[in-house]
Structure 1
Amino acid sequence: MGISFLIVLCFSIFVVAPSGAFRVQSVGVRGQLFCGNKPAANTLVQLYDEDDGPDPDDLLDKTYTSEDGSFELKGDTMELTNIDPEIRIYHDCAMHLPLCKREWIIGIPDKYIYSGTTPKKFMNIGQVNLEVELETEDRHDCFH
């Protein structure tokens, strides 16, 4: 390990952590999912705080869409820096052989991150048609 890493680690342990620099942050998101013109009922949607490095991503909330395809998620976590919230949608819309789910990841803008345990405003992603093929989607997610 480099000396600079050890200095940063000691600073974090002895100065930053006890000072209360970690803060609770919250986020909320809602929307309605469709597969073509039909509601995407019973589709798994998860709210995560995406973390870099060895720190695993934090699952903040999860739900399955209702019969009309709608969902609402909210969650909070304690972090030193701003959280990086995203929703992950697992679905089999427009798949001929749905052995695994398609995974969509949608980032949530910083303006929807709030201090405290309750978000003041929810991001509304609106009505989304899951037939769309995203360049970055994972079509081999069998273990979410």
Structure 2
Amino acid sequence: MTASITRPGGDPAVTVRRATARDARRLTRLVRGSRAYEGPYAAMVASYRVGPDYIEAHRVFVAADDADDRVLGFYSLLLAPPELDLMFVANDAQGLGIGRLLVAHMRGEARAAGLAEVRVVAHPPAEGFYRSVGAVRTGTVPARPPAVAWDRPELVFPVLPAV
């Protein structure tokens, strides 16, 4: 499954593709440099690593600029149990529709895998975004110090229509 955003002239600008081991360093830099994790959240991503082994073991997809293959964002979908494990958009690409593109792609992948829903335990500042693209809040995941020092919203993306 591919997805893209097009420029006004109709040329593709961004394409979502499967991540490769070559993307690992770029994904790690994107996570560690995320402005969403500044201040009290910084410790959570300071040593985070998206390695080639993670990319090989999971369904990781990147949104890349068609002109230069620059990674603008990425997500990781776990199938069992169904969960959006990671989702990041580059600081300078926020507000351009990259996050919406990634969520639409993730839902398509989940649908193709036969999933009815996908859980996401969100970074607190990201809850509003997830809700704006169709996720429904289902609860709160308590803090687990020292790894995570704050409570996090738990949401679900409905994928398959109810029968």
**TM-score computed with the length of structure 2 as normaliser:** 0.27
More helix by share: 2
More strand by share: 1
Report which of the two structures shows the higher radius of gyration computed on alpha carbons.
Answer: 1
Task: Report the TM-score when normalising by structure 1.
Answer: 0.30
